[in-house]
């Protein structure tokens, strides 16, 4: 499963990513695609990618807009399933849940 986070701005991003990482019962990737934010978004995403092997992060070279950035998330996703997660949202415990399948193992993040 790919949990895809389209980002433009770091506000709420830490809370969003923290809510997705407890999903240690799933084999998943947490993909963060920054749409050329002018703040510390890229650095924050790189930090999560460095600390959590299931997390991958990338940035665009120029602002592409909401739809193009979501499309980029889908292009980069490697999971059989995609769970969109908005940067200002949080996953409740158990979501996406055991129905997503996959092996049990620790969560991880990459740049």
CA distance 65 to 84: 16
Computed over every residue of the chain, the mean pLDDT equals 79
In the predicted structure, residue 94 carries a pLDDT above the cut 50 = yes
Q: What does the pLDDT read at residue 15?
A: 93
In the predicted structure, residue 26 carries a pLDDT above the cut 70 = no
Percent of the chain that is helix, strand, coil (3-state, to 5): 30, 20, 50
Q: For 63-78, what is each residue's pLDDT tens digit?
A: 788 888 889 989 999 9
């Amino acid at each position: 499963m790919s949990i895809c986070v389209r980002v433009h701005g770091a506000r709420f991003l830490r809370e969003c990513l923290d809510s997705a990482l407890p999903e240690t019962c799933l084999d998943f990737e947490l993909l963060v695609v920054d749409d050329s934010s002018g703040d510390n978004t890229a650095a924050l995403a790189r930090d999560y990618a460095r600390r959590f092997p299931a997390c991958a992060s990338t940035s665009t070279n120029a602002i592409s807009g909401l739809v193009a950035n979501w499309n980029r998330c889908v292009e980069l996703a490697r999971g059989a399933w995609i769970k969109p997660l908005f940067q200002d949202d949080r996953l409740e415990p158990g979501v996406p849940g055991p129905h997503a399948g996959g092996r049990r193992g620790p969560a991880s993040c990459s740049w």
